[in-house]
Structure 1
Amino acid sequence: MESKDLFGVVREPRGSRDLAPVPASMARRYGAAAIDGALAIVSGGISGLLYVITFPASEAPPLTDGALWVRILAVGIGLSLVNQVLLVLLFRGSVGKLIVGTRVVRMADGGRARPWQLLIRWVGGIAYGLTILPLGFILGGSEAPPLDFAGVCIADTPARASARPGHFVT
């Protein structure tokens, strides 16, 4: 009898995949990151705007108000956490990754990433994206590919993978 996951997708037996996943192209990786980043920034901005418009015009808080910025950051970071951890856990991809046709898989066998891997990947991605990446662009950039860490990588979805030779299909 075949085993199915929460959404009714048939699970493959352990060890049935003998090829490691092929990472997605740089353009699709950065495209997904741009979509995910824009989603977090826009949602934080909308939250801040909603906070400001709840006040009468004469009592509106200034842009230097700490509560406004805490709210913007909390919503942006919270949405990023849900998008990068919870959605990837459920659907193998964040909103941006699903739009561009990639997914997050374990490097070892192409299976679903574990929750702890996704959480470490999210924390590392925030740290990398806020420190190393901006410095790299300021100093002239680098041709090095983005880091895949925590035992997961960004790979093609099955529809795209089937068109690539030597790539597994789930």
Structure 2
Amino acid sequence: MRVPRPAGEGRRILAVTVDLFAVGCPAYLIIRGEDGRPLTGLLLLLGLSFANQVLLTYLLRASIGKLVTGIRVIRAADGGRPGLWRTVYRWLSGLCWLPLQPYYGVRAFFRGMGGGGPARGTVADNDDGELYHGDLAGLRYARRRDLAG
């Protein structure tokens, strides 16, 4: 099977935005009724995120946002269905990457002032903390219509 090219950046950003609303809005509404308990909110967000990013992706090859935008998650090597452990690894990597974004911003600021030398372009040493999710955990995002052909 021919592995389709990755989905475009705009479509991926739109899918992430839909996912944020699909997970964040219900969590916010439930937490609001819980008198603002932060631990309950965090656990609810993690649970909804896991269900959306891991379980739906494992079962349907897409999260809510990816279903809406016509993206499917495939194995980068052969275009097959993503396995459960690969989807869990991709989800955990994203959770670990997000809290580091302020650090990457401060580091890029000081690099711009002449300290630290040029970035090498790796996840561990780059200017903007860019984590290319396209092939993370051996998974890739492809347009649904590219899979049909």
Q: TM-score range by the shorter chain?
A: 0.7 to 0.9
Alignment-derived partner of residue 4 in structure 1: none
Distance 1:48 1:127 in 2: 23
Alignment-derived partner of residue 89 in structure 1: 58
Deviation at 1:136, TM superposition (A): 5.3
Q: 1:145/1:48 Cα in 2 relative to 1: closer, same or farther (>3 Å)? A: closer
Distance 2:15 2:98 in 1: 14
Aligned length: 130
Of the candidates 67, 76, 91, which is equivalent to residue 107 of structure 1? 76
Q: 1:69/1:145 Cα in 2 relative to 1: closer, same or farther (>3 Å)? A: closer
Q: 1:30/1:107 Cα in 2 relative to 1: closer, same or farther (>3 Å)? A: same
Alignment-derived partner of residue 146 in structure 1: 132
Q: Secondary structure at the match of 1:154?
A: strand
TM-score (normalised: structure 2): 0.76
Of the candidates 3, 9, 34, which is equivalent to residue 51 of structure 1? 34
Is the 2:24–2:45 Cα contact (8 Å) retained in structure 1? yes
Task: Name the amino acid aligned to 2:28.
Answer: G
Q: 1:130/1:39 Cα in 2 relative to 1: closer, same or farther (>3 Å)? A: farther
Distance 1:47 1:145 in 2: 31
Task: Name the amino acid aligned to 1:73.
Answer: L
Is the 1:97–1:103 Cα contact (8 Å) retained in structure 2? yes
- Deviation string, structure 1 residues 121-158 (Cα, Å, up to 9, x no partner): 000011123324x555675885x673321110111103
Q: Secondary structure at the match of 2:136?
A: coil
Task: Name the amino acid aligned to 2:17.
Answer: A
Deviation at 1:39, TM superposition (A): 2.1
Higher normalized helix content (fraction of residues): 2
Question: Which runs of no fewer than 5 residues in structure 2 stay unpaired?
Answer: 110-126
Q: Secondary structure at the match of 1:149?
A: helix
Alignment-derived partner of residue 58 in structure 1: none
Alignment-derived partner of residue 98 in structure 1: 67
> Are 2:18 and 1:35 equivalent residues in the alignment?
yes
Alignment-derived partner of residue 156 in structure 1: 143
Structure with larger Rg: 1
Alignment-derived partner of residue 116 in structure 2: none
Q: Secondary structure at the match of 2:77?
A: coil
Question: Which runs of no fewer than 5 residues in structure 1 stay unpaired?
Answer: 1-16, 53-62, 162-167
Is the 2:97–2:131 Cα contact (8 Å) retained in structure 1? no
Task: Report the aligned-residue RMSD.
Answer: 2.3
Is the 1:85–1:122 Cα contact (8 Å) retained in structure 2? yes
Is the 2:27–2:45 Cα contact (8 Å) retained in structure 1? yes
